[in-house]
């Protein structure tokens, strides 16, 4: 990693200081005994401290229903960090972080428990009230309502500002419930206090999609419906439901992955580029793009699958019809994009983890010996390895004019201020910058598309194709593509 150290602070090779929390803070994690907190949030706090991004005074308060002693919670916190960083865990740093960690057990809908939490905060924070307080909702969405209402009833503001709420997706289950969530929030919280988190926006490669377009006018002019034959966005996972089957089974991959992560990636790739990058201009452009997504002939545009063995998992309904795989064909209803199919694909327990976008350009009309020339492609892999490939053609040697593929590609390694997504987003929320968070209008636009599809499912009960774990998903996903096109699968390290 290229960086230097100046006045004890780290900075990139070009002299940009690494982001750190500019304010003392208290982070209250609701749902602190759950998997999201353990898998993502506890390791992020540790990473922030390890990387010297934490302020002098920070506190982390876990809140959950499970009765636990302080010692037991701190052990859970430490175990979660060790599970992620394994042998690289710095035990000294971990002990130092753990000194700032404590726990409150309470119900999500009992006012007296929130009053206890407030007392605990006063005791833990001591005299220093000059801090940002954040409440992170990493609970199941079914209790968002209760937590938001209770937090709104007690004054948790500090001298530095009002309590900030970080809410992790999903934002509702459909358009109606998303609107209800906004209504509940609006009753007690200002727009500036609410941070709607889709963790993909904290991933460096995802935001880099937009940055690449800004920095490279050549891409800006090429990413235009007039030149493009089709686009693919892939979000393949090799993991299954990882102890979250109860939640996942009530949601399915269309709502879990497509409504949020894949639509966001697609928006960064294809939305109009605002001339000035501000949080508002980015949100407006994303919203416009998502509002223009349309699905034609749903029956022939969606493939749903469920991996074999899913029904036997704890937390899954024995006859569940929930999809663990979705692929679909959409269009962007804008003049230049109207006939460019957009293919999206996501699924669990597939043969590989791969998040990528593939832009296939319109092929050259010239043909050689009745053979069509291969189209140019731009492949941007986001996970697990970031890489950009251009597929061009070059003439073979000799007097005959014939072509062979010329693939240029370079792995990209984060070379500056690199943090994992939750660490980055926590810092952004402390800063009060909403650029990397969502806004309700784009969420509504996404639900409108999804509701149309789920409405069709409910009415017509389309087939759910089984697939083998470790495969590329149901066979039916292939014919969704135009003739001659294949799903992009491979990735290189």
Residue 258 gets which letter from DSSP? I
Closest CB to ligand BG6 among 143 and 222?
143
Output DSSP code: residue 471: B
Nearer of residues 294 and 353 to ligand BG6, judged by Cβ:
353
205/341 with CB nearer ligand BG6: 205
Find all residues with CB under 8 Å of 408, minimum gap 6, and list them.
Answer: 389, 390, 392
**Min. distance of Cβ 256 from ligand BG6 in angstroms?**
5
Interface residues for ligand BG6 in 451-470 (CB under 6 A)? none
237 vs 323, which CB is nearer to ligand BG6?
237
Q: What does the block give as tokens for 412?
A: 């990209």
**Contact string 243-282 vs ligand BG6 (x = CB under 6 A):** -------------x--------------------------
Q: Which is nearer to ligand BG6, 219 or 412 (CB)?
A: 412
250-253 own/partner pairs: CB under 8 Å, 24+ apart: 250/322, 251/170, 251/173, 251/322, 252/322, 252/323, 252/324, 252/326, 253/323, 253/324, 253/325, 253/326, 253/346, 253/347, 253/348
Contact between 304 and 465 under an 8 Å Cβ cutoff? The reply is: yes
Q: Which residue in the set 24, 204, 229, 237 belongs to the binding site for ligand BG6 (CB under 6 A)?
A: 237
Residue 241 beta carbon to ligand BG6: minimum distance, rounded to whole angstroms: 7
Report, in Å, the least distance between residue 425 CB and ligand BG6: 12
CB 443 within 8 A of CB 196: yes
- Please report how close the Cβ of residue 81 comes to ligand BG6 at its closest, in angstroms: 18
User: Minimum distance from CB of 374 to ligand BG6 (Å)?
Assistant: 30
Name the token pair of 443. 């969420």
Helix 70-85 vs helix 91-98: angle between axes, to the nearest 10 degrees?
150
Tokens 């609006």 appear where? 186
The CB density around residue 80, as the number of other CB atoms within 10 Å, is 20
Phi/psi at 488 (5° precision): -85, 120
Sort residue 308 into left (φ over 0), alpha (ψ -120 to 50) or beta: beta
Q: Find the catalytic residue in 120, 173, 261, 422.
A: 261
What is the nearest approach in angstroms of ligand BG6 to the Cβ of residue 125? 31
What whole-number distance in Å separates Cα of residue 231 and Cα of residue 375? 13
Determine the size of the site formed for ligand BG6 (CB under 6 A). Answer: 3
CA proximity to 407, closest of 342, 490, 485: 490
Question: Whole-number minimum distance, CB 350 to ligand BG6, in Å?
Answer: 12
Site for ligand BG6 in 383-442 (CB under 6 A): 383
| CB closer to ligand BG6 out of 256 and 439 | 256
Looking at beta carbons only, is 76 or 256 nearer to ligand BG6? 256
Characterize the bridge pairing of strands 194-197 and 164-168: parallel
Cis bond before residue 484 (omega within 30° of 0): no
Residue 234's DSSP bridge partners are 345, 356
Which CB, 256 or 386, lies closer to ligand BG6?
256
| In the complex, minimum distance from the CB of residue 394 to ligand BG6, in angstroms, rounded to a whole number | 35
Other CB atoms within a 10 A radius of the CB of residue 493 amount to 6
Q: Cα(244)–Cα(289) distance, rounded to whole angstroms?
A: 31
Asked if 146 contacts 30 with a C-beta cutoff of 8 angstroms, the reply is no
Which residue's CB atom is positioned nearest to ligand BG6? 256
Active site residue 261: yes
Residues linked to residue 314 through DSSP beta bridges, in sequence order: none
Peptide bond into 109 cis (omega under 30): no
CA distances, 8 to each of 17, 53, 424 (Å): 11, 11, 20
249 or 256: CB nearest ligand BG6: 256
Residues engaged in binding ligand BG6 (CB under 6 A): 237, 256, 383
Catalytic residue annotation: 261
């Amino acid at each position: 990693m290229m960086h230097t150290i100046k006045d004890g602070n780290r900075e990139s090779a070009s002299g940009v200081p690494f982001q750190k929390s500019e304010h003392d803070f208290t982070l209250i994690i609701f749902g602190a005994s759950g998997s999201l907190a353990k898998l993502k949030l506890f390791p992020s706090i540790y990473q922030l401290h390890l990387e010297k991004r934490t302020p002098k005074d920070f506190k982390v308060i876990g809140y959950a229903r499970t009765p636990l002693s302080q010692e037991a919670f701190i052990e859970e916190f430490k175990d979660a960090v060790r599970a992620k960083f394994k042998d690289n865990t710095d035990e000294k740093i971990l002990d130092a972080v753990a000194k700032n960690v404590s726990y409150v057990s309470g119900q999500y809908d009992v006012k007296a428990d929130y009053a206890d939490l407030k007392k605990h905060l006063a005791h833990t924070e001591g005299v220093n009230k000059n801090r940002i307080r954040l409440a992170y909702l990493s609970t199941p969405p079914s209790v968002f309502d209760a937590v938001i209402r209770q937090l709104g009833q007690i004054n948790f503001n500090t001298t530095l500002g009002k309590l900030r709420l970080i809410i992790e997706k999903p934002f509702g289950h459909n358009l109606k419930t998303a609107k209800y969530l906004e209504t509940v929030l609006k009753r007690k919280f200002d727009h500036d206090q609410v941070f709607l988190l889709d963790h993909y926006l904290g991933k460096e490669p995802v935001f880099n999609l937009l940055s690449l377009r800004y920095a490279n006018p050549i891409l800006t002019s090429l990413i235009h419906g007039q030149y493009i034959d089709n686009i693919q966005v892939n979000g393949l996972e090799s993991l299954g439901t990882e102890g979250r089957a109860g939640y996942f089974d009530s949601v399915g991959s269309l709502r879990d992955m497509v409504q949020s992560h894949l639509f966001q990636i697609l928006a960064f790739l294809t939305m109009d580029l605002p001339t000035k990058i501000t949080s508002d201009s980015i949100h407006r452009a994303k919203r416009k793009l998502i509002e223009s997504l349309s699905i034609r002939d749903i029956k022939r545009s969606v493939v749903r699958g469920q991996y074999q063995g899913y029904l036997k998992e704890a937390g899954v309904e024995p006859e569940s019809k929930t999809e663990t795989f979705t692929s679909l064909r959409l269009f962007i209803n804008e003049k230049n994009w109207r006939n460019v199919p957009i293919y999206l694909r996501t699924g669990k327990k597939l043969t590989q983890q791969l998040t990528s976008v593939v832009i296939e350009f319109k092929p050259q009309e010239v043909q050689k010996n009745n053979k069509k020339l291969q189209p140019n492609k731009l492949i941007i892999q986001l996970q697990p390895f970031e890489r950009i490939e251009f597929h061009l053609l070059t003439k073979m040697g000799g007097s005959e004019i014939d072509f062979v593929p010329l693939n240029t590609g370079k792995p990209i390694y984060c070379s500056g201020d690199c943090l994992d997504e939750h660490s980055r987003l926590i810092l952004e929320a402390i800063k009060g910058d909403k650029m990397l968070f969502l806004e309700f209008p784009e969420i509504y636009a996404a639900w409108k598309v999804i509701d149309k599809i789920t409405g069709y499912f409910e009415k017509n009960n389309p087939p759910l194709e089984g697939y083998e774990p470790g495969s590329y998903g149901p066979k039916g996903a292939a014919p969704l593509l135009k003739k001659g096109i294949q799903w992009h699968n491979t990735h290189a390290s």
